[in-house]
Amino acid sequence: MELSLIAALSKNNVIGKNNDLPWHLPNDMKYFMQTTKGHCVLMGRKNYESLPEKFRPLPNRTNILVTRQANFHAPGCEVFNTIEKGIAYAKDIGETELFIIGGAEIYSATLPLADTLYLTEINAIIDGDTFFPKVDKTKWKETSRQVNNRDDKHKFDFDFVVYEKIR
């Protein structure tokens, strides 16, 4: 099973502020939905709680939630107390590509295990309080880049970039 991280981040690695996204990029949301559809997505409890209620659980995906809280219940989600158990569950049900969707602690813990990074690189310095871990680009090869210029619906220029781990 391939392990992939998917995230949108600013030039200063911001991924969130006050448990929310500090930007509005509709095409990024569409990209996220299309890329992860039909797959397992693994997330932390805080990330899950940051999702608008109408999107919980994320539709057309197997939602795997990791939390240290005993007896935490999230309707429609598979809940585990370790990342390893969540990954093992995805493997056990025959997932081919598990998407890690955050937050910061989950990204930091899984980056060393990742095979692929799907990063929406936002061409701006943005204020935030939650950060994506630093990626050592010498260990990753860029395999695709799709440029998106700002417009009336998108305040910033951004690129959809895929990186594969160098083996």
In whole angstroms, what is the distance from residue 96 CA to residue 26 CA?
27
pLDDT of 98: 98
How confident is the model at residue 105, as a pLDDT? Answer: 96
Low-confidence ranges of the chain (pLDDT < 70): none
* The predicted structure's pLDDT at residue 161: 98
Phi, psi of 116 (to 5 degrees): -140, 145
What pLDDT does residue 66 have?
98
**CA 66 – CA 68 distance, rounded (Å):** 7
Strand bridging mode 40-44 / 97-100: parallel
Looking at residue 156, its pLDDT comes to: 97
Number of helices and strands in the chain (H, E): 4, 10
Q: What three-state secondary structure class fits 58?
A: coil
Q: Which of 134, 133, 149 minimizes the C-alpha distance to 25?
A: 149
> What pLDDT was estimated at residue 147?
98
Contacts of residues 58-66 at CB distance under 8 Å and 24 or more positions apart, as own/partner, are: 61/36, 61/37, 62/90, 62/93, 62/95, 64/40, 64/89, 64/90, 64/98, 66/42, 66/106
pLDDT digits (tens, 9 = 90+) for 113-156: 999 999 999 999 999 999 999 999 999 999 999 999 999 999 99
How much is the pLDDT for 146? Answer: 98
All structural domains of the chain, each given as residue ranges with its CATH number in brackets, are 2-165 (3.40.430.10)
